[in-house]
Amino acid sequence: MQEPSLFSPASCCCLFSLLALLATSHLMMSVKTMDIIDLTCEKCSQESPVFNYTFCLASLQAVPVSHFTNIKGLGVISMELALLNASTTISSIEKMLRNGSLDPFQLGCLRDCLELYSDASRTLVDAAGAFIVGQYGVASMRVSAAMEAATTCEDGFEERGEICPLRKENYDLFQLGDIALCILRLLSLSIPS
């Protein structure tokens, strides 16, 4: 009996089916991973009344790699976004502090917020480190601390009924932290400890 050559109709057919299989599984995979952003944001918004589904979707979808990742990858991305937010906010506070047109109260609040945000960015680096080695409990504590920095910064202004010039920044950091916290909860649930 003759061995089928590489180019025999039989092996061509095999090769074609293999390619077709690869193509469809790739397609299925990208559909699945695109859905993971939606699924995650949806699930998290059901768990918490303050969780912003629109914000979650927009933040994660803006990062190209998040379309091709799993829930753990989304966790890392949410922490990186939070860290990036905190760093950008630190630069804007420094810029505001150089502006002479602020009253002493506002200057005081901004200085407090600068310290809070500097701590928060260090805490978020620690959180990401703990997350990567699977210490989800430690990571959650660190993320919560960073979210508290945003709340404390906001409260400093509200005490005197002033509008915080960092309202959006505080909101964004809180929401990004809430995404990370929710993902940490979902991961802890799926890994019995």
By CB under 6 A, name the binding residues for ligand NAG: 52, 54-55, 58-59, 81, 84-85, 88-89, 99, 101, 169, 172, 176
Q: Between 101 and 193, name the residue whose CB sits nearer to ligand NAG.
A: 101
As measured in angstroms, the least distance from the Cβ of 59 to ligand NAG is 4
As measured in angstroms, the least distance from the Cβ of 132 to ligand NAG is 20
As measured in angstroms, the least distance from the Cβ of 170 to ligand NAG is 10
Which residues have CB under 8 Å from 4's CB, separation 6+? 10, 11
Q: Between 30 and 99, name the residue whose CB sits nearer to ligand NAG.
A: 99
Q: Between 85 and 140, name the residue whose CB sits nearer to ligand NAG.
A: 85
As measured in angstroms, the least distance from the Cβ of 57 to ligand NAG is 9
Q: Between 25 and 155, name the residue whose CB sits nearer to ligand NAG.
A: 155
As measured in angstroms, the least distance from the Cβ of 186 to ligand NAG is 20
Q: Between 136 and 174, name the residue whose CB sits nearer to ligand NAG.
A: 174
Separation in Å, CA 113 to CA 92, 164, 191:
11, 10, 37
As measured in angstroms, the least distance from the Cβ of 15 to ligand NAG is 44
Q: Between 78 and 140, name the residue whose CB sits nearer to ligand NAG.
A: 78
- DSSP string computed for the chain: -PPPPTTSHHHHHHHHHHHHHHHHHHHHHHHHHHHHHHHHHHHHHHH-TT--HHHHHHHHHTSGGGGG--HHHHHHHHHHHHHHHHHHHHHHHHHHHH-TT--HHHHHHHHHHHHHHHHHHHHHHHHHHHHHTT-HHHHHHHHHHHHHHHHHHHHHHHTTTPPPTTHHHHHHHHHHHHHHHHHHHHHHHHS--
